[in-house]
């Protein structure tokens, strides 16, 4: 089974910008492009296969037909496990929190959300919100929300290109304006907004907050925010392990000429190009072009494949 390109659904949330169109070639009639869901079987936004034998098919339909392409141990009734996004924050995102699996399964009919961020670029002075400055009680947290003093309590973290953040369920967080991110997460769309700067939605009304649920799931202790990332250079390819958890494994490969990789039966591989001037993915004499924003699904069991050219890619698999 050959690797294939994916076409990502695009979201036009009010805080989005124009970089997904300008840098990554994403197409939409919307003025603002906030997110593109580069690997998704979630019903709120599904990828479509672009070209090849399964051209035009939803990725979820392909997975239902060929669960072995996800993993030799994957059962389609479990649901596709991960979601990969590009996020362009022209303005601040809401301050929010995600629940764990147990809570989300019980109350939302969805998964919880563990996620990680790789900072593709950040404007000077850009920062994000990650947890609290100091520990609060639940009552102090509630009072800060009600008295509009929450932003005095949160921990603001300056960011730069290449930073990595791991966001466990229950961690209060927000992406700040001027940040471009690759996000890898559990396949979930459950978000509890706590604070939204008084903004109005498309209907002219304040966007919904979810304070009571947020109070139930938020960890009010300070969080360990930034993860150190170490690179290993071998044969001209710099590889960095960005995340390794129960839900996903994420590596970044900075390739100047060629990287020889493989997809065994234990997991599919998702390749997302986030930098470089271009190249190609080659598998068994079959070639796919790679440019900024290209998203490729490599089925489990494909075996050896190579990426050639000047490419900076995020590669996601499952444990």
- 28 in helix, strand or coil? coil
What is the C-alpha to C-alpha distance for residues 119 and 106, in angstroms, rounded to an integer?
33
- 95 in helix, strand or coil? strand
* pLDDT value of residue 204: 78
Q: How far is CA 176 from CA 90, 91, 156, 189, 224, in A?
A: 8, 7, 9, 20, 18
* pLDDT value of residue 234: 80
Work out the number of other CB atoms within 10 angstroms of the CB of residue 193: 18
- Strand 10-11 and strand 269-283: the pairing is unpaired
Q: How far is CA 106 from CA 43, 109, 247, in A?
A: 19, 7, 19
Give me the sign of the Cα torsion angle 108, 110, 114, 116: negative
Instruction: Report residue 54 as tokens.
Output: 């399964």
Of residues 259, 242, 318, 285, the one with CA closest to residue 3: 285
What is the C-alpha to C-alpha distance for residues 301 and 234, in angstroms, rounded to an integer?
24
pLDDT in tens, the chain (319 residues): 899 999 999 999 999 999 999 999 999 999 999 999 999 999 999 999 999 999 999 999 999 999 999 999 998 888 999 999 999 999 999 999 999 999 999 999 999 999 999 999 999 999 999 999 999 999 999 999 999 999 999 999 999 999 999 999 999 999 999 999 999 999 999 999 999 998 877 777 888 889 999 999 999 999 876 677 778 888 889 999 999 999 999 999 999 999 999 999 999 999 999 999 999 999 998 999 999 999 999 999 999 999 999 999 999 999 9
- 24 in helix, strand or coil? coil
* pLDDT value of residue 251: 97
CB of 104 closer than 8 Å to CB of 190? yes
Q: How far is CA 269 from CA 82, 172, 298, in A?
A: 11, 30, 5
Among this protein's residues, is 193 annotated catalytic? yes
Which one is catalytic: 193, 221, 227, 254?
193
């Amino acid at each position: 089974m050959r690797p294939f390109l994916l076409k990502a659904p695009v979201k036009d949330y009010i805080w989005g910008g124009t970089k997904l169109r300008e840098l990554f070639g994403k197409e939409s009639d919307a003025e603002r492009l906030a997110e593109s869901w580069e690997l998704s079987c979630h019903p709120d936004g599904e990828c479509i296969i672009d070209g090849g034998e399964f051209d035009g098919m939803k990725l979820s339909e392909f997975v239902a037909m060929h669960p072995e392409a996800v993993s030799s141990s994957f059962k389609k009734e479990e649901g596709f496990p991960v979601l990969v996004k590009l996020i362009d924050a022209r303005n601040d995102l809401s301050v929010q929190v995600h629940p764990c699996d147990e809570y989300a399964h019980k109350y939302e009919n969805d998964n919880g959300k563990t996620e990680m961020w790789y900072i593709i670029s950040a404007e000077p002075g850009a920062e994000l919100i990650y947890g609290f400055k100091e520990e609060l009680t639940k009552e102090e947290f509630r009072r800060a929300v009600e008295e509009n003093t929450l932003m005095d309590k949160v921990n603001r973290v300056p960011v730069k290109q290449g930073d990595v953040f791991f966001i466990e369920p229950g961690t209060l967080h927000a992406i700040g304006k001027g940040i471009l991110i690759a996000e890898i997460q559990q396949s979930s769309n459950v978000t509890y907004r706590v604070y939204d700067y008084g903004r109005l939605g498309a209907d002219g009304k304040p966007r919904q907050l979810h304070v009571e649920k947020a109070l139930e799931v938020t960890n009010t202790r300070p969080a360990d925010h930034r993860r150190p990332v170490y690179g290993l250079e071998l044969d001209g390819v710099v590889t960095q392990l960005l995340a390794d958890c129960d839900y996903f494994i994420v590596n970044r490969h900075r390739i100047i000429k060629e990287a020889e990789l493989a997809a065994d039966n234990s997991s599919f591989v998702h390749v997302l190009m986030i930098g470089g001037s271009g190249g190609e993915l080659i598998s068994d004499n079959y070639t796919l072009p790679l440019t900024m924003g290209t998203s490729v699904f490599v089925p489990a069991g494909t075996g050896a494949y190579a990426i050639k050219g000047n490419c900076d890619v995020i590669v996601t698999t499952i444990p």
